[in-house]
Amino acid sequence: MVNRNILETEEAISFVKDTFSSNLSDALGLVRVSSPIMVLDGTGVNDDLNGVERCVTFPVKQMNDQRAVIVNSLAKWKRIRLMELGIEVDRGILTDMRAIRPDEDYSPIHSIYVDQWDWEKNMDPQHRNLATLKAHVNGIYNSILKTESAIADKYSDIAPILPQEIRFIHAEELLQRYPNKSPKERENAVAKEYGAVFIMGIGGPLSNAEIHDGRAPDYDDWSSENEDGYRGLNGDLLVWNPVLNSGLELSSMGIRVDAKSLERQLTMRGDEARKQLFFHQMVLGEKIPQSIGGGIGQSRMCMYLLRKQHIGEVQVSVWPDEVIEQSRTAGIQLL
């Protein structure tokens, strides 16, 4: 854990964000774009996360009280934007996403305010494979490594701790390795073992008829069979966080659904009614580019790289009185 006053922390946060976003843009071939904090409700454009969380919605006076919704992420909006901007294959976009998720459970790594780098890349349909997924994971991880190195050069009290390579494992392999552990316990075990790991195939059913973690059926492809004989072309990037003594998810990403995988996943989840929504019609009609993309937590990245104990040390949010008091007792400075 590294102690700094709030102004020094704010300066360090800016350094992390500027450095990482520049490294990421260079690694993946991304251009920065503007993005919305809200979209119209009922279009299917908003990210439904696990499909059960409430969204922040409000009526728009000048649109006859048509309802808008604060985005949960920009997973679907970005694909439409790739088409609108005419982004060529193997190029992509990067934007700052801001969201409010009122159903988040507070913890040292969870807030109802969410900030992340959202990126999306136009992809040749012939590249729907694990090699493409892994290449982009490596690009992201190398950007994190370069950022950690830059921080160590700037701040003498922070030393690099990340391994030079990230490891890959499928959620099914993880289940077979730790059959008596919960998904979170499996994540902690493998993150501690490897230091940095990408868990693939999240959202699809495993051999125990359960899923490793929830995924909506209409953005990541978690059901297509891949070259390793498992299913899924998506996953989560985790690192071992010695400050919290646990694994820390920094990114969720994947190759996005095409028409076939969207049909299959909507059927698997009993959610075929979504086929009539604007976004889903675009995918089923093959009117928007096939793509790969994801989100990378900005506050989590800052928290990890600056060796902070609590996400409230690197972002401004609202906290229950008990969290404020617990933080004060522990010497944690919430922004």
116 among known catalytic residues: yes
Tokens of 1: 């854990």
User: Is 230 a domain residue?
Assistant: yes
User: Is 236 a domain residue?
Assistant: yes
Catalytic one of 47, 172, 221, 313 = 47
Q: How far apart are CA 230 and CA 106, in angstroms?
A: 34
pTM over 0.95: no
47 among known catalytic residues: yes
Question: Which three-class secondary structure string do you get for 184-251?
Answer: HHHHHHHHHHHCEEEEECCCCECCCCCECCCCCCCCECCCCECCCCCECCEEEEEEEECCCCEEEEEE
236 among known catalytic residues: yes
Catalytic one of 21, 48, 73, 101 = 101
pLDDT tier at 48, thresholds 50, 70, 90: low
Domain that holds residue 179: 6-31+72-330
CATH code: domain of residue 256: 3.30.930.10
User: Is 49 a domain residue?
Assistant: no
Axis-axis angle for helices 298-305, 6-28 (nearest 10) = 110
User: Is 15 a domain residue?
Assistant: yes
Which among 314, 301, 189 has a CA at the least distance from the CA of 245?
189
* Each residue's pLDDT tens digit, 225-259: 888 889 999 999 999 999 999 999 999 999 999 99
19 in Cβ contact with 150 (< 8 Å) = yes
- Mean pLDDT, the chain, rounded, equals 91
* Each residue's pLDDT tens digit, 258-312: 999 999 999 999 989 989 988 899 999 999 999 999 999 999 999 999 999 988 8
Supply φ then ψ for residue 35, to 5 degrees. -150, 160
* Each residue's pLDDT tens digit, 211-230: 999 888 998 999 998 888 89
Q: How far apart are CA 263 and CA 1, in angstroms?
A: 47
Question: How many domains are contained in the chain?
Answer: 1
> Is pLDDT above 70 for 50?
no
Catalytic one of 228, 249, 263, 271 = 249
> Is pLDDT above 60 for 63?
yes
Q: How far apart are CA 316 and CA 325, in angstroms?
A: 16
21 among known catalytic residues: no
* Confidence at residue 49, expressed as pLDDT on a 0 to 100 scale: 63
Which among 262, 8, 240 has a CA at the least distance from the CA of 128?
262
* Confidence at residue 2, expressed as pLDDT on a 0 to 100 scale: 58
Q: Please state the separation of Cα 93 from the chain's center in Å.
A: 15
User: Is 140 a domain residue?
Assistant: yes
User: Is 56 a domain residue?
Assistant: no
